[in-house]
Structure 1
Amino acid sequence: MDATILAYIAGFLDGDGSIFFQLVRRKDYCFGFQIRTSLAFYQKTENERILLWLKQQFKSGYIRRRKTGISDYTIVEPGEVRRILELLQPYVRLKKEHVGLGLEILRTLPQADDAAELVSLCRLVDRFREINYSKKRTITSTVVADFLKSHGYLAPVETDPIQERVVGHPAANTPVASAASRG
């Protein structure tokens, strides 16, 4: 994609876009939680054609019309979000921290196959709460860690109560999400 187009899209993301990561309870995941990623661009529905153009550029995601007169173009598949953030990273200005943190999470996510690694990633997701000024989040890394401890996936290390280790549990070596659910 042309650098001018990428710079334009990065400016759009800086002004009318959003990058966010959420912790979502998922009973079908071996550790009970999913790290959900979203990259979204917003525009008045009457100007939706720019969102259609974006979708043509990236060839992924979906467009939704809201009852509020706003439409959004959203990409949720982690591999696609990563690809797009890597393309836009050199050009973003206002959301540099968001893009950097998002890429750190997305690059680590495929390797997070035990409970301790999941909690570590959840702590990075918690940082999005601060940089996005999110006040409604109820599922945090602490909630995930407490759940994992209560289900025997994590236990405090005896010499250091802050450190945690994975308990020898059959699912402890199972990936956080199945390959099919990752896209």
Structure 2
Amino acid sequence: MTTFNQLTPQQVAYIAGFLDGDGCVNAQLVTREDYILGFQIRVTVTFYQKTKRHWFLVWLQKKLNCGKIRKRPDGMSELTLVGVQTVQPFLQKIVQYLLVKRKQASLVLYICHNLSKKQSPEDFVRLCEKVDLIETLNDSKKRSIKAKDVKKHLGVDN
């Protein structure tokens, strides 16, 4: 598990401000044939920067000691933190400093806290509905799988 205790309070506040301005806190539904319920809730935190400032994302990755960086073909670079084991402790550390993305972070933390491998279909669908709420807060346009699709797949009426 990654810890972010080496960051100073000033660094934490700075990183939160950077995330508020040039980042995204997200959750998405992904089909997974190897999962009992057939779906995974994937949580991510992504930082964006023009590729000419790629060095900054490298610096941030070293500070956080986690994440993957990629250069996109559109002149942008991104640093992405993926998964509950990384995203949850990161958001716990910075949520108090977020302004713009605090609701998304709080919802992702709720999802992380309540996600379980032995989850009932009904409880999983309720978490999927939180994923849908994050979509509205992020003005997402590309999501293809929604809670209603999971409900239908699992035959859940709630």
TM-score, shorter chain, exceeding 0.5: yes
- Name the Cα RMSD after superposition: 1.3
Residue 55 of structure 1, CA deviation: 0.8
More RCO (CA 8 Å, sep 6+): 2
Aligned pairs (5 A) from 1:107-126? 107-110=113-116, 113-126=119-132
- From the superposition, tell whether residues 136 and 58 of structure 1 become closer, same or farther in structure 2 (CA, over 3 Å): same
The gaps in structure 2 that reach 5 residues or longer are 1-6
SS at match of 1:89: helix
Residue 127 of structure 1, CA deviation: 0.2
AA aligned opposite 1:94: V
Q: CA contact under 8 A between 1:23 and 1:122: conserved in structure 2?
A: yes
Instruction: Work out which of the residue numbers 105, 112, 121 in structure 2 matches 1:99.
Output: 105
Partner Cα separation in structure 1 for residue 63 and residue 89 of structure 2: 12
2:15 alignment partner in structure 1: 9
The gaps in structure 1 that reach 5 residues or longer are 157-162, 164-183
Q: CA contact under 8 A between 1:64 and 1:71: conserved in structure 2?
A: yes
Task: Please state if 1:57 is matched with 2:43.
Answer: no
SS at match of 1:28: coil
Partner Cα separation in structure 2 for residue 102 and residue 77 of structure 1: 11
After superposition, give the CA deviation of every residue in 1:72-122 in whole Å (9 maximum; x if it has no partner).
000112111011101111111111111111111111113662211111110
Partner Cα separation in structure 2 for residue 45 and residue 67 of structure 1: 10
% identical equivalent positions: 39
| TM-score, normalised via structure 1 length | 0.79
AA aligned opposite 1:133: D
Q: CA contact under 8 A between 1:112 and 1:118: conserved in structure 2?
A: no
Partner Cα separation in structure 2 for residue 130 and residue 56 of structure 1: 32
Partner Cα separation in structure 1 for residue 40 and residue 87 of structure 2: 16
Which has the larger Rg? 1
